[in-house]
Homo-oligomer: A and B are copies of this chain.
Amino acid sequence: MTESKQQQIQHLANIFIQSMPFSRLLQLELEQLSSQSTVIYLPWQQQLVGNPIQQILHGGVISAVLDTVGGLMAAAAFVERQDFDSVTQMQDGLAKLGTIDMRTDYLRPGRGEKFYASAEPIRLGNKVCVCRMELHNEKDVKIAYGTGTYLFG
C-alpha cells in the first residue's frame, strides 16, 4: 500500500468519528484502524443510560457503536481496494457506503467505564462487505455481538 493510501485510511477516522455529530455525541474514540481489524471505544456517559436503576447502557447505544465500528472497517476495506486520486474523491466514493442490515445479540448488561468495539471481515467482495463485531468493557466482559452487511454503493 502506498503511503498515500495509508493516509487515506487514517483519514477515515476523521470522517466516521470527528465529523459525525452522533459519533461526537457518543464521544467515540479510535483505537486501531485497518481493513482486517478495527477497534473504537466509548467512554461511559450518564446520558447514554437505558435503565436508570441498573445503570446500564441503552441497547440502542450498543447497536450504534457496533454499527459504527463495522462501517469504519468496511470503509477501510473499500479504500484499500479502490484507487482514489485524492481525499475529495475518496469522500465521494464513501458517500455511497451504507449499512444494508445488521443483527445485534445482547449478551450481558452494559456495565463498565469504557467499552471497546471491534470488527473483523467475514465476507469481502466488490459490492458488499460482511463483518462480525463485538463489544466488551474494560474488564473484558463481553456485552454484545453483532453482524453487519455493508454496501459499497
Contacts and interface: CB of A to CB of B under 8 A. Distances in A.
Give the top 3 A-B pairs by smallest Cβ distance, nearest first: A60-B64, A22-B58, A63-B63
Interface of A: 19-25, 46-54, 57-61, 63-65, 67-68, 71, 91, 95, 98-109, 122-123, 125, 127-128, 130, 132, 142, 145, 147, 149, 151, 153
A123 to B, nearest CB: 5
A105 B123 contact: yes
A126 to B, nearest CB: 9
B105 A104 contact: no
Contacts of A103: 101-103, 147
A147 B145 contact: yes
Contact of A22 (B61, B107, B123, B151): B61
Contacts of A25: 25, 47-48
13 contacts: A21-B52, A21-B58, A22-B60, A25-B47, A53-B95, A54-B95, A59-B64, A59-B71, A100-B105, A100-B130, A101-B103, A122-B145, A127-B151
A117 B138 CA distance: 33
Given A64-B63, A122-B145, A128-B127, A58 B101 contact: no
Contacts of A58: 20-23, 64
Given A60-B60, A100-B105, 17 more contacts: A20-B51, A21-B46, A21-B50, A21-B58, A22-B48, A23-B58, A25-B25, A25-B47, A59-B71, A59-B99, A63-B102, A100-B130, A101-B149, A103-B147, A106-B123, A107-B123, A127-B151
